[in-house]
């Protein structure tokens, strides 16, 4: 599992290493890692590093120091390097190294000598020591670079984003790539800051052994999903493999019921039951002859396209006392059905608009502060929340948070959330803890979209999910 840590934890872990190692060793590792990534990107873009024009936009702290040392490394290998200081003082040893390697100062008053000159710019204004937002000088500098079409590589973080929340409250740098040190920060994984990072490269500076095990946020990887997926053994039969129930779709939205069943029926659980509108039932049976009617289940998916019947469907599902995936039209009923102490095992699967309605918030505010709002809903309703988006979040009442990094924008297609709800319920029916089922479902759903590439519709996802699951299970068997 990949993880992100809070700034305070990164600082504490760095302090242990700083006390142990020789002066400057940690920064040397960071700077070398940065330089290698920058050199690699330049070489891929223009064939060779020698002669490439690199601008360093440098602030007062160690973030600037990283860039100055990296600039020295690049200059020694033939790049032309200039620095633009946004502060009266910059890292002394870093500046000396760059000057010794032939780097030159850019004149802030002459943009032709930097914005009109550079092939690439490094944003080293602030890293984890910065306050969110950009001062006006930095904002003007990056606007000028953007106007000249100069791509930006952020050092540790795009300056201006909030490292610990992933929020981008004010002006901030938008990078094509970000080279982050030691561990991910929340901002390199969680939107909207993750979008400002571009492609993220993690450079190992030896922090792993000194970072706390409790990460602020985790990322499931293929190996984690593969290890957790339940593979039936010789003694299993359809009931021990788990039965998943679907109460979704309505006369108004019949397709949502079919798609939710399709997500549940990818083959991970032993059996699928559908309970709902007669016409939807007939369509479900026509498409999935193996689906049966009411009876005992180990998990429910409820609410996708449920319309006015979503509340009754949710109450009926809750009465069974099994894990329940609460989607779409059922989400709003968390308001009165899930007061603290309710005792149900539930995951809500809203998109930003649905969570906004539940929390009486603006959709734009949920999109600007997704982690904050997901945590608020978890605290208010004592449920797991899977907040859908480009970077889907899963937050649990036990205090764990995960962000999903699989998927592509083609997933933003009608009905794709319905497939996800059915899939998560199917995974829970196989006996996985509901939060794990939610995180794994998001991972498989996103990975399936990557396999499909796009364009595709929601109905294409279940087959791809089955193929992705099959490939993962084969990997475990190897």
Ligand X SMILES: Nc1ncnc2c1ncn2[C@@H]1O[C@H](COP(=O)(O)OP(=O)(O)O)[C@@H](O)[C@H]1O
What residues are designated binding site for (6S)-NADPHX? 256, 305, 351, 418
Contact call for residue 381 and ligand X (CB under 6 A): no
Residues 321-350 that bind ligand X (CB under 6 A): 328
Contact call for residue 418 and ligand X (CB under 6 A): yes
Contact partner, 277, from ligand NPW, ligand X, K ion, none, Cβ < 5-8 Å per class: none
Select 153 or 411, whichever has its Cβ closest to K ion.
153
Select 154 or 189, whichever has its Cβ closest to K ion.
154
Q: SS3 for 394?
A: strand
d(CA 166, CA 152): 19
With both helix axes pointing from N to C terminus, report the angle between 352-359 and 370-381 in degrees, rounded to the nearest 10.
50
Q: Which of 85, 390, 426, 429 binds ligand X (CB under 6 A)?
A: 390
Nearest-approach distance from CB 352 to ligand X, in angstroms: 9
Select 106 or 310, whichever has its Cβ closest to K ion.
106
Cis bond leading into 192, ω under 30°? yes
With both helix axes pointing from N to C terminus, report the angle between 461-477 and 434-452 in degrees, rounded to the nearest 10.
110
Q: Give the binding range for ligand X (CB under 6 A) out of 55-63, 242-250, 402-410, 427-435.
A: 402-410
Contact call for residue 370 and ligand X (CB under 6 A): no
Contact call for residue 447 and ligand X (CB under 6 A): no
Select 183 or 406, whichever has its Cβ closest to ligand NPW.
183
Q: Give the binding range for ligand X (CB under 6 A) out of 269-277, 289-297, 356-364, 401-409.
A: 401-409
Contact call for residue 160 and ligand X (CB under 6 A): no
Query: Which of 155, 153, 148, 56 is CA-nearest to residue 99?
Result: 56
83 DSSP 8-state letter:
E
Residues 42-81 that bind ligand X (CB under 6 A): none
Q: In b/e form, how buried is each residue of 72-90, taking b as 16+ CB within 10 angstroms?
A: bbbbeeebbbbbbbbbeeb
Contacts 24+ apart (CB under 8 A), 287-296: 287/258, 287/261, 287/262, 288/261, 288/262, 290/265, 291/261, 291/265, 295/243, 296/243, 296/320
Query: Which of 390, 378, 439, 385 is CA-nearest to residue 416?
Result: 390
Contact call for residue 455 and ligand X (CB under 6 A): no
Q: In b/e form, how buried is each residue of 461-477, taking b as 16+ CB within 10 angstroms?
A: bbebbbebbeebeeeee
Nearest-approach distance from CB 413 to ligand X, in angstroms: 7
The footprint of ligand X on this chain (CB under 6 A) covers a number of residues equal to 18
Nearest-approach distance from CB 134 to ligand NPW, in angstroms: 6
* Dihedral angle of Cα 178, 184, 186, 192, to the nearest 10 degrees: 30
Contact partner, 123, from ligand X, ligand NPW, K ion, none, Cβ < 5-8 Å per class: K ion
Tell me which residues touch K ion (CB under 5 A).
Answer: 123, 127, 154-155, 159
Select 182 or 407, whichever has its Cβ closest to ligand X.
407
Query: Which of 35, 30, 28, 24 is CA-nearest to residue 10?
Result: 30
Nearest-approach distance from CB 418 to ligand X, in angstroms: 5
Contact call for residue 411 and ligand X (CB under 6 A): yes
Q: Which of 135, 351, 373, 447 binds ligand X (CB under 6 A)?
A: 351
């Amino acid at each position: 599992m990949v993880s992100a840590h809070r700034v305070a934890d990164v600082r504490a872990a760095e302090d242990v290493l700083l006390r142990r190692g020789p002066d400057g060793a940690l920064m040397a590792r960071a700077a070398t890692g940065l330089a290698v990534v920058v050199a690699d990107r330049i070489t891929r873009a223009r064939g060779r590093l020698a002669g490439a024009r690199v601008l360093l936009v440098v602030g007062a702290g160690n973030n600037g120091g990283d860039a100055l040392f990296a600039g020295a490394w690049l200059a020694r290998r033939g790049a032309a390097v200039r620095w633009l200081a946004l502060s009266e003082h910059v890292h002394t040893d870093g500046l000396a190294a760059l000057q010794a390697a032939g780097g030159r100062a850019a004149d802030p008053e002459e943009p032709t000598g930097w914005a009109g000159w550079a092939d690439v710019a490094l944003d080293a204004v602030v890293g984890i020591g910065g306050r969110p937002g950009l001062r006006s000088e930095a904002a003007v500098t990056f606007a000028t670079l953007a106007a000249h079409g100069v791509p930006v590589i952020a050092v540790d973080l795009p300056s201006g984003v909030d490292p610990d929340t992933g929020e981008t409250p004010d002006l901030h740098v938008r990078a094509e790539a970000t080279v982050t040190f030691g561990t991910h920060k929340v901002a390199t994984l969680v939107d909207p800051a993750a979008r400002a990072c571009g492609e993220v490269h993690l450079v190992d500076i030896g922090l792993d052994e000194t970072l706390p095990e409790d990460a602020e946020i985790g990322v499931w990887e293929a190996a984690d999903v593969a290890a957790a997926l339940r593979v039936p053994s010789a003694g299993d039969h359809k009931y021990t493999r788990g039965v998943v129930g679907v109460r979704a779709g309505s006369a108004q939205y019949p397709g949502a019921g079919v798609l939710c069943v399709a997500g549940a029926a990818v083959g991970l659980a032993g059996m699928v039951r559908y309970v709902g509108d007669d016409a939807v039932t007939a369509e479900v049976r026509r498409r999935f002859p193996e689906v049966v009617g009411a009876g005992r289940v180990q998990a429910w998916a409820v609410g996708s396209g449920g319309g006015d019947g979503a509340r009754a469907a949710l109450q009926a599902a809750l009465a069974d006392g099994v894990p329940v995936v609460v989607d779409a039209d059922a989400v709003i009923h968390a308001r009165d059905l899930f007061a603290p102490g309710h005792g149900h095992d539930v995951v809500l699967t809203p998109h930003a608009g649905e969570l906004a309605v539940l929390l009486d918030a603006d959709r734009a505010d949920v999109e600007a502060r997704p982690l904050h709002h997901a945590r608020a809903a978890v605290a208010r309703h004592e449920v797991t929340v899977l907040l859908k988006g480009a970077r889907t979040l899963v937050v649990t009442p036990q205090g764990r948070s995960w962000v999903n990094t699989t998927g592509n924008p083609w997933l933003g297609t009608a009905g794709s959330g319905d497939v996800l709800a059915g899939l998560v319920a199917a995974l829970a029916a196989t006996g996985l803890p509901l939060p794990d089922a939610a995180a794994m479902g998001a991972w498989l759903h996103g990975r399936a979209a990557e396999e499909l590439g796009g364009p595709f519709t929601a109905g294409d996802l279940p087959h791809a999910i089955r193929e992705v699951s099959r490939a993962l299970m084969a990997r475990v068997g190897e």
